[in-house]
Amino acid sequence: MSSSVGLIIPCKAAVAWEAGKPLVMEQVEVAPPQALEVRIQIKYTSLCHTDLYFWEAKGQTPLFPRIFGHEASGIVESVGEGVNVFQVGDHVLPVFTGECGECRHCKSEESNMCDLLRINTDRGFMLNDGKSRFSIDGQPIHHFLGTSTFSEYTVVHSGSLAKINPLAPLDKVCVLSCGISTGLGSTLNVAKPKQGSTVAIFGLGAVGLAAAEGARIAGASRIIGIDLNPKRFDEAKKFGVTEFLNPKDQDRPIQEVIAEMTDGGVDRSIECTGNINAMISAFECVHDGWGVAVLVGVPNKEAVFMTKPINLLSERTLKGSFFGNYKPRTDLPSVIEMYMNKKLDVDKFITHRVPFSEINKAFDLMLKGEGLRCVIDMEK
Ligand code: NAD
Ligand code: ZN
Ligand code: ZN
């Protein structure tokens, strides 16, 4: 048993005090886990664009001070009352959308939208008592996505935690806790392209390129990558993307260009940008009769999706997905196994590494559109 069990742990956390301002390294106090909660020591965390959106708080609800972070790996430090499935020392990945195991969604084969623990970007406190487990001199600090991994220790609901193979390297599989699993599952579980299909991917960040990996694994014949950032194109070749399009280089809507290139439209498209215009293009570029478009990007709160109903009547399908439809506790261990069996390469998604003390560099890189995932080492 660890000596900290049942005690408050003072530790370092990167706190966002204001929207868009650099995070500040603070000494925070992390309370022990309550019933059905688990306290974990974060080993590695990485930055996902969803952290950046809520930190910028443009078109999202601002909630500060807050500890961001949701893509991470860690080790169980202690468990609260009623937690049977986790033990001290277990290797775990926290996940932004949970699985209570009891509700209609958790019992449905089709859904991962748990009634109790589904993603809630506006909740800043724990479900048990509506309070924070983080404080600085008695001032509560808001949680983010029930995970708040930009802290050496954090408390999460046990339903938002996946136990993983202890042999999996935590400095790598941390990226499977959000972006890579999301992109991969959006293709394999939701878009489900058939062998030989044409697939368009909007947004060639880590999520989009993981969606491209899914298309490659499914045997797509053409994978068309669309991004506004020309720097993305070289990187995308390593992920099986066969053709590139930059909407800025075209004098007509990108969906028209794609329809012309593919004899009427692609079989599947996956949108991984968060931009409403890209979402509309992603839908309108699929072939009538059978085309399926999947929205993955997190949009501005006020964004409205507009298209002519005839586009749907002509037998196109529009879908959306969180976490690639994976149930975090049930399905994430199998994604880890894909990595362990070398069916899925995660190393090529990790383009940068920084020590925790330099976490703001990860934000700078993402703002500049450089690299894919920046892994933050909590022990440095
Ligand atoms: P990223 O910043 O690494 O990549 C996004 C890419 O989209 C960038 O290369 C950018 O240049 C490109 N882009 C932006 N607007 C575009 C446009 N109009 N047309 C074409 N390309 C455009 O981000 P990421 O971490 O890969 O995340 C991608 C999106 O997925 C974000 O919106 C993120 O919030 C969301 N996300 C959703 C889930 C989910 O479960 N649904 C999970 C993780 C991330
Ligand atoms: Zn994410
Ligand atoms: Zn549930």
Specify the residue with its C-alpha closest to ligand 1, atom 18: 278
Please give the biggest Cα pair distance in the chain.
Answer: 65
Ligand nearest to the CA of 149: 2
Tokens at 221, concatenated: 């014949």
In terms of Cβ atoms closer than 10 Å to its own Cβ (0-12, 13-18, 19+), residue 310 is exposed
pLDDT of residue 309: 98
Report CA(298)–ligand 1 centroid distance (Å). 8
φ/ψ of 242, rounded to 5, equals: -95, -25
- Spacing, Cα 364 to ligand 2 middle (Å): 17
Closest ligand 1 atom to Cα of 206 = 26
**Residues of the chain whose pLDDT is less than 70?**
1-2
Q: Which residues are 225's β-sheet partners?
A: 201, 244
Q: What pLDDT, on a 0 to 100 scale, did the predictor assign at position 306?
A: 97
Q: Is the pTM of this model over 0.85?
A: yes
| Ligand 2 centre distance from Cα of residue 113 (Å) | 16
Find the Cα–Cα–Cα–Cα dihedral 306, 310, 313, 319, rounded to 10°: -20
Specify the pairing of strand 292-295 against strand 317-320.
parallel
How is residue 16 annotated by DSSP? B
Output the pLDDT for position 2: 53
- In a mutational test of the pocket of ligand 1, which residue from 298, 352, 375 has the highest number of ligand atoms less than 8 Å from its CB? 298
Which ligand has its closest atom nearest to the C-alpha of 224? Answer: 1
Strands (DSSP E) contained in the chain are 9-15, 24-30, 37-46, 71-79, 91-94, 134-136, 139-140, 153-157, 161-163, 198-202, 222-226, 243-245, 268-271, 292-295, 317-320, 350-355, 373-377
Ligand in closest contact with the CA of 112: 3
Residues 6+ apart with CB under 8 A from 205: 49, 179, 232, 272, 372
Amino acid identity of residue 174, one-letter, is C
Q: pLDDT tens across 201-249, in order?
A: 999 999 999 999 999 999 999 999 999 999 999 899 999 999 999 999 9
What local confidence, expressed as pLDDT, does residue 3 receive? 83
- Report residues whose beta carbon is within 6 angstroms of any ligand 1 atom: 48-50, 53, 178-179, 182, 202-208, 226-229, 232, 247, 272-275, 277-278, 296-298, 321-323, 366, 369
Q: Give the pLDDT confidence score for residue 380 in this predicted structure.
A: 82
Task: State the closest ligand 1 atom to the C-alpha of 254, by its place in the atom list counted from 1.
Answer: 19
Write the pLDDT tens digit of every residue in 5-55: 999 999 999 999 999 999 999 999 999 999 999 999 999 999 999 999 999
* Active site members: 48-50, 70-71, 100, 103, 106, 114, 118, 178, 373
263 CA to centre of ligand 2 in angstroms: 34
